[in-house]
Each structure stands twice: as structure tokens, then as C-alpha cells.
Amino acid sequence: MVIEIRQLDKSSLSDQLAVYRAAFNPTKVYDENREMWVKKHYENPTGDSLVFGAYCDGKLAGMNSYMPVEYAYQGETIPMLQSCESGVMPEFQGKGIWSKVVCYAIDFILKETKYQAVIGFPNYVNSYPGFKKMGWETLFEMENYVMINSAKVLADSVFKNRQFFRLLGRFSFLQRIGIFLKGCCSSKYKVDECGVEDLIWEDKPDVLSVTHTMELIDWKKAYKGIKAIAIKKDNRIQATCIYSLSDYDGSRIVKLEKCCVSRDSSITLKAATALLCKYLLTQHPDAAFVRVWAMPNSEWAQALKGLFFVKSSHPNPFIIKEEGNTFSKMKWDLSFFDLD
């Protein structure tokens, strides 16, 4: 079997989608996958993704895509790439093709492009062990918190793990949040949809964080379907949140992707999260659960624990590949909105 690894472009879009659909989303129709893929990888205002693939006997057997992202640190813009969709066609799996593609891509990126590092947010079970074998460094693990809001999901959890009583004690989520909110004068605040231009962004110059521009936010709105909501008091915005809706295993999921509180607001991040969850679950009563990714030991992680969220036993590692260890020594500030 002859393997040829090379960089791909739009001319091989049909081949890329064939691998993507086989590896990730075989139930979605072709046109839906195509629209998402083009918007994500070839309409990014930061730049087109770098996609590398392995052809075996004239057929695209596997690939890995790398999406440009700009980080800010002490007034400096640092271009990086994030490893995104990767996969191998079923008939070519188990032949080391994926690792060959990744090694080829990393060598090319770090030697031949402007990008100073490649980051990743891999699946803990499937791809993470492979990245570790190839020498990627794990900086930390993004913690995955969920709040069950569906009797069906709760019942399924009984048979899938041993956290039944733990989950049962948190099932009355809205009731407990209601009790908490009564104690923080929630009636003073109003929650409603808002425009992305109203979003609050935290300024943290001494940590590595993603550069947010209106163009970038509009792009993510187009391919991820994100929406924004705001908490107001006396018509002044106190906190904002980015969220999205998705379907997984037959269930509707509400994802809180990023939440920020205004510096001059009297509301706490914990109270803001409670208000936002109550609003979203009221607006989407069919949601099976709320999901949040938070950095370990962060203020948001502490708030989620205080609101009876359950931390998943499978976190998502945040990994990096760079020449040297410049960025691995720095502090990072990330949310799920920043990572994909």
C-alpha cells in the first residue's frame, strides 16, 4: 500500500467530507456537512484551516485539520493552530495512517509557517492516547460539568454508571436554583436574549487568551449557531453568556460556552450562572441537560459545583505541541467558545 501525505485545499472538499462523515457524522445529509465544513475551515476571518491528508492508492484514507486562532498576551498577538476534525476511513484504520498525518503536519507547521504552536482539545478516550504517544504536552484538563434535566437521561444514567444517588440528589435542579435565587434578590434582574455586540469580555493581559473581534464572533455564530443572553438590572447589562443548542444521542443539550460578569456589577458569577440556567431551561424545557466546560480551579468551576452540577469522570485534555516550552509555562484563560 502506497501512502502519500500532502496538504489539502478546496479542490478535495468532497474527499474531506467523505472522511468527516465516515468518522463523525454519517447520519447527517451531505449538504449540511458541506455547509458547516466550508464555513468553519474556509471562511474563518483569521485564515483558512490547514488540512493534511493521506492518500492510499488514490483514495483519501485519513486527514487532520488545523484551524487558525489568534491569542493575545501582554498586547502581543500570537498566531496558533488548533487541531480539529481528524479521522480515518474504516477500511484504513489500524494502519498508523492518522499518526503519520499528524507527524507530517506538525513538522510542516512548526518549520514552514508563521504559527508558533499547535493546540488541541481531543477526545479523552479516542484520540488523546495517540497524541500523548506523539509527544504532545498536556497543560491541564478542561472539566466537563453537567446538570441533568430529564427523567429519561437520569434513568439511563442508572444503568450506565454508579452515580445514581448522586444524580438523584441533584435532579431537582430548578427547585434548588429557585431557593438559591430567592436569597440573592433575583427579582431585581431580568434575563433576555441580546446581540453579540452586547457581550462582555474580560481583559486579562497577563494570561494567554483568544482575541475576540466582531468578525470572529459573527463567523462562529454562522457555523456554530451560538446565541447570546444578558442579565440586566435597571436596563444596565450586568452579565452575559454565550450558549448553543445541540442534539446528542437523541437528547437536546444546552451548552453554556462562555459567561462574563461586568466589573462594576453587584451580581456574582454563581448567581449569574443560576439565573442564566433558569432562563434557558425555561425557554428550552425539552433540554435533557446543561453542559459546561470550565478550567480547573476557576471561579466558574467553583460556581458550578455550588449549583449542584456533576463533574464528568471524563475531562477533556488541553494539549500543545511547540518547539521549546514557551507557551506551556504561561497561564491560559479558555472557555469552550474559544476551543472550537
The answer on pLDDT for 250 being more than 70 is yes
How many whole angstroms separate alpha carbon 207 and alpha carbon 204?
6
Same domain, yes or no: 157 and 305: yes
- 290 in a structural domain: yes
194 and 260 housed in the same domain: yes
Instruction: Report the pLDDT value the prediction gives residue 56, as an integer from 0 to 100.
Output: 92
pLDDT in tens, 285-339: 888 888 899 999 999 999 998 887 888 777 889 999 999 889 999 999 988 888 7
Q: Is residue 329 part of a domain?
A: no
Q: Domain range for residue 36?
A: 3-120
**Please, which pLDDT band fits residue 243 given cuts at 50, 70 and 90?**
very high
25 and 158 co-located in one domain: no
On whether both 106 and 149 belong to a single domain, the answer is no
**112 and 150 belong to one structural domain:** no
Q: Can you give the pLDDT at residue 142?
A: 92
Give percent of the chain above pLDDT 90: 53
The whole-chain average pLDDT of the chain stands at: 85
Q: What is the mean pLDDT of residues 92-109?
A: 94
User: What letter would DSSP give residue 129?
Assistant: H
Whether 162 shows a pLDDT value over 50: the answer reads no
Judgement on whether residues 208 and 244 belong to the same structural domain of the protein: yes
Residues 106 and 169 in one domain: no
How far, in Å, CA of 168 to CA of 154, rounded? Answer: 8
Question: Would 75 be classed as within a structural domain?
Answer: yes
Helices (H), the chain: 13-23, 30-42, 97-112, 128-133, 151-160, 164-168, 173-182, 214-224, 269-283, 299-306, 336-339
How many domains does the chain divide into? 2
Residue entry with cell 452540577: 309
Task: Give one DSSP letter per residue of 162-189, joined into a string.
Answer: S-HHHHHTTS-HHHHHHHHHHTTTGGG-
pTM: 0.86
Query: Is 184 or 159 the better-scoring residue by pLDDT?
Result: 184
Q: Provide mean pLDDT across the span 27-51.
A: 83
C-alpha cell at 92: 484504513
